[in-house]
Every structure is written in C-alpha cells, then in structure tokens.
Amino acid sequence: MDVSFLTARQHDLKLPKQIKDKALASLVSSQPNASHRSIEEAPFRRMYDFWFASVLWAEHADMEPISGSKTEKFIAAGPTPADAKLDSWMLELLLLIAVRRLEPDVNTLPEPGDVFKLANELAAAGAPRLIDEIERRSDLMEPRLYTTSELFREAAGVGKESSRAKR
C-alpha cells in the first residue's frame, strides 16, 4: 500500500516533555549524551522509535488517546531532508490504527493530520505506561533490550506466558 501521502507535508511528532526527557535519558541510544550506551541498555535507536512503540503500546492496551495534554515536538515526519523518515510499515500501521479509531467507513481514509494527531495522543497515553513496564521488569542481569523485546513478544501473543498457556 502506498502511504507516502501521509508524509507529503510535515507533521510534528510530540510527547509530554517529562516523558520525552525520561526516554532520552534512559531508553534512546542515538543521543549525543548516550553514545556510550549500547543498544542493549537503551533499546530504542531513535526517539521516534520510542514514540512509535508508545503508540503501539497504547493501541494494544486499547488506551484512550490523551488529548489536550501539554506536549513538545521532538522532530517532524515529512518530505524535507531534516525530517524523520518513518518506514512505510510504520506509516501503514499508523494508518490502520487511525482507520480503526477514526473512520466508521473503511472506504474512507483519514486525513494525514488526523492520523498524526491521533498517533501523538496515543503516544502520550502509552509512553508513561511503557516506561513503567520496562523499568518494572528491568534488572541488572538482563539488558533493557531483552526486557523490551519480551514485553512486545508477550503483547503479540508469542512470549513465554502465551507459549506456556498453549501447552
């Protein structure tokens, strides 16, 4: 599916400042102050990877989007060289989530601005819970990458708990 229309113009990616700062400090590895951290300790390579995971976390938990919260732009997704280039599969998932949540008529696609507005509101809802869950499960013996990976495997139904339940 061609989803390039979603980023034909710029759309800001946003999170609440406190959450953004916390993610940058401990979970995102591609920051100048985090160059000494490995991907195992900071499992998200880019801030927008964390943002996207937060959207998915909120969607999986069927959380209500948080609208009207004070958020801060950390990058724009769009066509210019300075913009984040979201992978097409990411854009497809954002579009599918928006169709499910915004459009009762599946033959109508939501406007790109509405897709990103919803995604930012879902990220605002999912990010604090995702951080809490990663921190709750993390320990000194297991890198955060593995903890994060296991969280999403369980959410998808392929984790340790779901494989035990199938037996």
Q: What is the pLDDT of residues 32-52, one digit of tens each?
A: 655 556 667 788 889 999 999
Is the model more confident about 65 or about 138? 65
**Residues near 24 by beta carbon (within 8 Å), at least 6 away in sequence:** 31, 34, 47
Provide the domain limits for residue 147. 4-166
What is the chain's mean pLDDT, rounded?
85
CA distances from 26 to 38, 84, 86, 125 (A): 11, 21, 22, 19
Six-digit token string for 145: 């990458």
Q: What is the Cα gyration radius of the chain?
A: 16
Q: Compute the average pLDDT of residues 52-66.
A: 95
What is the tally of structural domains in the chain? 1
Q: What is the pLDDT of residues 84-132, one digit of tens each?
A: 999 999 999 999 999 999 977 778 889 999 999 999 999 999 999 999 9
